[in-house]
Amino acid sequence: MTAALEFRNLTLGYDRHPAVHHLSGKVPEGALLAVVGPNGAGKSTLLKGIVGALDPLTGEIDRNGAKKEAIAYLPQLAEIDRSFPINVYDLVAMGLWRKAGLFGGIGRQDRRSIEQAISAVGLDGFEARTIGTLSGGQMQRALFARLLLQDARLILLDEPFAAMDENTIADLSDLIGRWHGERRTIVTVLHDLDYVRAHIPEALLLAREAVAWGRTGDVLTSENLKKARRMCEVFHAGAPVCEETA
């Protein structure tokens, strides 16, 4: 089976401090992978690296030839300026970036896909509402509609269910299930371990380094989780230069 993603001795970080440290491994095409771990474990950083928003300090990411635009990325809700005066329709339409780019027009067919995407996440009638008036759940639905439009083979989700109610989680879960059924590759950062155990077949437990990676049941053992927590507590400002190579 071909790999949609391969990390080779990948180190990502900020200002020389590694947030993801010497990670190696493959994500096969069509996989549904949960990235779990304590706060500060490098989960969001890993997604930013995959999407190309952050260049590796060392090592590399093989995207199997996928271009930047062929990856759909859901940033954390908290990183979006929801006071900006833009409406739901325009926000969702950004999903057409790969097709329309900087200047491309948006035709009748495109407008239909935008309306369909908005409808698919249950936001009919919200098109003209500015995003500042949406609840957290509605906002996340709008961002999922944008993902739908991106129509990507590789989908990265950063905490899609943070602070969402059951109803929203169920609906968004269905969308993720649909993508999985279409053999798209999905990598999602999650905190709810019970949810991961119930719905996500594979997991990567990250604590800057990979603690465990494989079938969810084998990864999320109490021993591994304890180890992950311990490993995340060792950051300090005067850390020496890392000598490890491979």
Partner 1 sequence: MSAYQYMIAPFVEFEFMRRALVGAFALGLGGAPVGVFLMLRRMSLTGDAMAHAILPGAAVGFLFAGLNLFAMTAGGIAAGVTVAVGAGLIARSTGLKEDASLAAFYLVSLALGVLIVSLKGSNIDLLHVLFGTVLALDNATLILIASIATVSLLALALIWRPLVLECVDPNFLRSVSRSGAPTHLIFLALMVLNLVGGFHALGTLLAVGIMMLPAAAARFWVRELTAMIVLAILLAVVSGYAGLLLSYHSGAAAGPAIILVAGILYAGSVVLGPIGGLKRHFVPARHLEA
Contact set with partner 1 (CB under 8 A): 48, 51-53, 68-69, 71, 73, 75, 79-81, 84-87, 90-91, 94, 97-98, 101-103, 130-132, 146
How far apart are CB 224 and partner 1 at their closest, in Å?
29
Closest to partner 1 by CB, 102 or 234? 102
Give the nearest distance from C-beta 121 to partner 1 in angstroms.
Answer: 17
Order the strands of the 154-158 sheet from edge to edge.
71-74, 154-158, 185-189, 32-36, 202-207, 209-215
First to last CA, the chain: 25
Closest-CA residue to 160 (of 152, 169, 151, 150): 169
Kindly tell me which of 56 and 197 has the beta carbon lying closer to partner 1: 56
CB of 193 to partner 1, least distance (A): 25
Q: How does 207-240 read in b/e, with b if 16+ C-beta sit within 10 Å?
A: bbbbbbbeebeebbeeebbeebeebbeeeeeeee
Smallest gap, in angstroms, from Cβ of residue 97 to partner 1? Answer: 5
Of 95 and 207, nearer to partner 1 (C-beta) is: 95
From its phi and psi, is residue 16 left (phi > 0), alpha (psi between -120 and 50) or beta?
A: left
Residue that has been written with the tokens 């491309």 in this structure: 104
For residues 20 and 210, which CB has a smaller minimum distance to partner 1 in the complex? 20
Least Å distance between CB 138 and partner 1?
14
Q: How far is the CB of 75 from partner 1 (least distance, A)?
A: 4
Nearer to partner 1, 94 or 231 (CB): 94
Judged by beta carbon, residue 52 or residue 136, the one nearer partner 1 is: 52
